């Protein structure tokens, strides 16, 4: 093969073919010390570096990236652990509550003090005639009015987070001096119970659609199962609207 023919063959090779060959033969440079010494690559500083130096640089970048990812994972794990402990404390207080007043107080205190949020609301829906206005975290509201004011927010089975419309926020958290700006809302549905559990923040961007809601859903699922027997115990044959008076709405 003449030198000209050899050059033509090399010219016909593409970058992809060379890369594929080296990828399939990672030990190609093992006996190519002279070639390794002559190969150079541009560096951010402007000077040329060897292939080995470039490899070391890439390995260090990969190490630093993995280290940052590990630190982030550990931070998320610690955050989730704290959320779990707070959720557990809240649910233990709810389980130990002797009546609806105690339950409402436990929810309100935990969400404000332990979770550091600005408001909590448990709305139970009933079409009975309702006396007075709500007090504390637990409210009994007209089911038709709830559908009218909250609309599509009641359709899903999962938590909904975001900056709701003003009339929706006011319905969920009535009689507040400082308005709620962002909300996380979870459905309450179990054994005929229909309602919502909502938590709110005065920060507009605190809750958004992309955030996780695992622990809030865990709390709402548990409340859905704890409320029906408590309503039966405290109802003693009374309507849900009578329970509104018992829970501070009278």
Q: Helices 51-96 & 214-235, crossing angle to 10 degrees?
A: 10
pLDDT for the residue 59: 84
Res. 237: pLDDT tops 60 = no
Indicate the pLDDT class of residue 129, thresholds 50, 70 and 90. very low
Helix or strand holding residue 164 (H, E)? none
pLDDT for the residue 159: 82
CB neighbourhood size of 205 (10 A): 10
Find tokens 């009689």 and name the residue.
175
Average pLDDT value for residue range 53-61 = 78
Percent pLDDT > 90 in the chain is 6
Residues across the chain: 250
Specify whether the CB–CB gap between 176 and 139 falls below 8 A. no
Q: At 114, is the secondary structure helix, strand, or coil?
A: helix
Res. 36: pLDDT tops 90 = no
Res. 97: pLDDT tops 80 = yes
Find tokens 């709620």 and name the residue.
180
How far is CA 213 from each of CA 12, 89, 198, rounded to the nearest angstrom?
Answer: 57, 18, 12
Q: Which two tokens stand for residue 150?
A: 């909250």
Write down the pTM of the prediction.
0.63
Res. 43: pLDDT tops 70 = no
Instruction: Report which of 236, 109, 118 is spatially closest to residue 177, judged by C-alpha positions.
Output: 118
Domain boundaries of the chain, sorted by first residue: 16-96, 98-249
Q: In this predicted model, what pLDDT tens digit does every residue of 173-200 receive, in sequence order?
A: 887 888 899 999 988 888 777 888 999 9
Instruction: Report which of 234, 138, 240, 119 is spatially closest to residue 180, judged by C-alpha positions.
Output: 119
CATH superfamily of 98-249: GAF domain (3.30.450.40)
């Amino acid at each position: 093969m003449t030198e000209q023919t050899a050059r033509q063959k090399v010219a016909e090779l593409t970058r992809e073919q060379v890369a594929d060959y080296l990828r399939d033969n990672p030990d190609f440079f093992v006996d190519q010390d002279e070639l390794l010494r002559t190969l150079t690559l541009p560096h951010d500083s402007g000077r040329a570096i060897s292939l080995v130096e470039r490899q070391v640089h890439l390995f260090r970048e990969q190490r630093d990236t993995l280290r940052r990812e590990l630190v982030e994972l550990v931070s998320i794990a610690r955050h989730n652990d704290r959320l779990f402990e707070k959720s557990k404390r809240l649910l233990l207080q709810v389980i130990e509550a002797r009546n609806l007043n105690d339950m409402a107080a436990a929810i309100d205190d935990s969400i404000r003090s332990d979770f550091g949020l600005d408001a909590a609301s448990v709305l139970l829906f009933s079409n009975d005639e309702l006396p007075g206005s709500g007090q504390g975290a637990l409210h009994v509201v007209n089911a038709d009015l709830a559908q009218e004011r909250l609309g599509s927010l009641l359709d899903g089975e999962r938590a909904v987070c975001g900056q709701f419309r003003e009339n929706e926020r006011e319905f969920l958290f009535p009689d507040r001096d400082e308005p709620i700006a962002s909300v996380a809302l979870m459905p309450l549905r179990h054994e005929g119970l229909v309602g919502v559990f909502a938590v709110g923040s005065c920060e507009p961007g605190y809750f958004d659609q992309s955030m996780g809601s695992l622990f809030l859903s865990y709390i709402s699922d548990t409340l859905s199962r704890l409320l029906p027997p408590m309503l039966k115990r405290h109802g003693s044959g009374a309507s849900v609207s009578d329970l509104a008076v018992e829970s501070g709405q009278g």
